[in-house]
Amino acid sequence: MTSNFQLHSSNAPPPLALITGITGQDGSYLCELLLSKGYVVHGLVRRNSSTTRARLDPIFQDKEVYGKRLFLHYADLDDVTTIRRLLTKIQPDEIYHLAGQSHVGTSFEIPESTCEFTAMGTLKLLEIIRDLAKRPRFLQISSSEIFGRPTASPQNEHTPMRPVTPYGVAKAFATSMTCLYRESFDLFACNAICYNHESPRRGESFVTRKITQAAAAISVGLQDKLKMGSLDARRDWGYAPEYVVGMWQILQQNNPDDYVLATGVDHSVQEFLQTAFEAVGLDWKDHYEVDQRFIRPAEVNMLVGDPSKAWQRLGWKPQSDLASIVRSMVDADLLLINRNRFPNCAVASQAWTSPPNASSGKS
């Protein structure tokens, strides 16, 4: 079997990257990107997260990569001793810090552990890096949630942080600490301030995936209603595989800096819902039910980013529009349903291994 990931061609040793949160949506896409660029990739994995490793299955099946250029290590973000030992041994050139409790709604239920992992986890990593003899470049994946109820729209790297959710507060802390370590301790530490980015690999409790899963299931008679919170909020939704390219580009610059990664275009949750149901020939109004459980104690009404700095300095430009992202997610969820219904059918098994390209759904 030939490998999907090229080997590093020059005589120089391959670059070494470490990804926290490698089993997540972004971690899995970033891992594929770095492997395709010739990196050796080390990933930190929570000991109880084995069920979510399906996103890495295509790489595990590649015998030229897993165990040769991709290595996974158990380490929770609060396990400073283990992380320090790993970083001292691996000596990565680049660290991509993606791990943490990332569900905004859930952060109201578990604010302490959200801050423990998302905020303090970042500080602990920065402290370890500060002491290393060979300091790696560090990227913190920040979030538009730091802007909360923003003072300006669209938001850019200079917009003041005004978080209104425990997750947003934790990310504001992590973002500020990353800047502080860059300025005070001369670390090559950067923030990617990411707006919502989606894909067929998105977690099932986020609104986009919840909608596309439901649209697919309802269209084949497996579900009747979709219970959700408010449809009024507006978000700037991009396509996750494009965002990990921006993350990589940030660490390839001569100087460390912070960048907004966004499309610059906003849509309401209702527009997303309507587009997904139209993709399967249904009217969302026939299937939507409001459920108070999904209304948040404080809602971030509208976030839209200004990615001009990333366009100008990195040459990073997102390509996929909302319709193509929705189409790719609905198609993948229909494939997953078929795979479960017809496990011996080869076509149905393609859902995880080769998610449809977002641009394929533009027609």
Ligand X SMILES: C[C@H]1O[C@H](OP(=O)(O)OP(=O)(O)OC[C@H]2O[C@@H](n3cnc4c(=O)[nH]c(N)nc43)[C@H](O)[C@@H]2O)[C@@H](O)[C@@H](O)C1=O
Catalytic positions: 195
Residue whose CB is less far from ligand X, 53 or 296: 296
Residue 363, C-beta contacts closer than 8 angstroms, at least 6 positions apart: none
Distance in Å, CB of 222 to ligand X, minimum:
18
Residue whose CB is less far from ligand X, 86 or 303: 303
User: Contact between 233 and ligand X (CB under 6 A)?
Assistant: yes
Which of 77, 250, 269, 273: binder of ligand X (CB under 6 A)? Answer: 269
* Piece of 35-43, 55-63, 109-117, 294-302 that binds ligand X (CB under 6 A): 294-302
User: Contact between 97 and ligand X (CB under 6 A)?
Assistant: no
Residue whose CB is less far from ligand X, 16 or 193: 193
Which of 196, 212, 274, 324: binder of ligand X (CB under 6 A)? Answer: 196
User: Contact between 170 and ligand X (CB under 6 A)?
Assistant: no
Neighbour order of strands in the sheet with 40-45 = 70-74, 40-45, 16-20, 94-97, 137-143, 189-194, 259-261
Which of 124, 235, 267, 287: binder of ligand X (CB under 6 A)? Answer: 235
Residue whose CB is less far from ligand X, 37 or 227: 227
Residue 32, C-beta contacts closer than 8 angstroms, at least 6 positions apart: 5, 58, 59
Which of 230, 253, 268, 270: binder of ligand X (CB under 6 A)? Answer: 230
User: Contact between 205 and ligand X (CB under 6 A)?
Assistant: yes
Distance in Å, CB of 283 to ligand X, minimum:
18
N-to-C CA span, the chain: 34
Number of residues that bind ligand X (CB under 6 A): 22
Which of 181, 195, 316, 352: binder of ligand X (CB under 6 A)? Answer: 195
Distance in Å, CB of 207 to ligand X, minimum:
3
Distance in Å, CB of 185 to ligand X, minimum:
26
Distance in Å, CB of 254 to ligand X, minimum:
28
State which of positions 126-145 bind ligand X (CB under 6 A).
143-145
User: Contact between 207 and ligand X (CB under 6 A)?
Assistant: yes
Distance in Å, CB of 117 to ligand X, minimum:
12
Hunting for tokens 């939704």 — which residue is that?
237
- The site map against ligand X for 99-118 (x = CB under 6 A) is ---x-xx-------------
* Piece of 58-66, 98-106, 247-255, 322-330 that binds ligand X (CB under 6 A): 98-106
Residue 122, both tokens = 């970042």
Residue whose CB is less far from ligand X, 180 or 233: 233
Amino acid at 190: C
SS (H, E, C) the chain: CCCCCCCCCCCCCCCEEEEECCCCHHHHHHHHHHHHCCCEEEEEECCCCHHHHHHHHHHHCCCCCECCCEEEEECCCCCHHHHHHHHHHHCCCEEEECCCCCCHHHHCCCHHHHHHHHHHHHHHHHHHHHHCCCCCEEEEEEEHHHHCCCCCCCECCCCCCCCCCHHHHHHHHHHHHHHHHHHHHCCCEEEEEECCEECCCCCCCCHHHHHHHHHHHHHCCCCCCEEECCCCCEECCEEHHHHHHHHHHHHCCCCCCCEEECCCCCEEHHHHHHHHHHHCCCCHHHCEEECHHHCCCCCCCECCECCHHHHHHHCCCCCCCHHHHHHHHHHHHHHHHHHHHCCCCCHHHHHHHCCCCHHHHCC
User: Contact between 228 and ligand X (CB under 6 A)?
Assistant: yes
Residue whose CB is less far from ligand X, 87 or 322: 322
User: Contact between 299 and ligand X (CB under 6 A)?
Assistant: yes
Residue whose CB is less far from ligand X, 143 or 219: 143
Compute the distance between CA of residue 299 and CA of residue 301 in angstroms, rounded to an integer.
Answer: 6
Interface positions with ligand X (CB under 6 A): 102, 104-105, 143-145, 195-196, 205-208, 210, 228-230, 233, 235, 269, 294, 296, 299
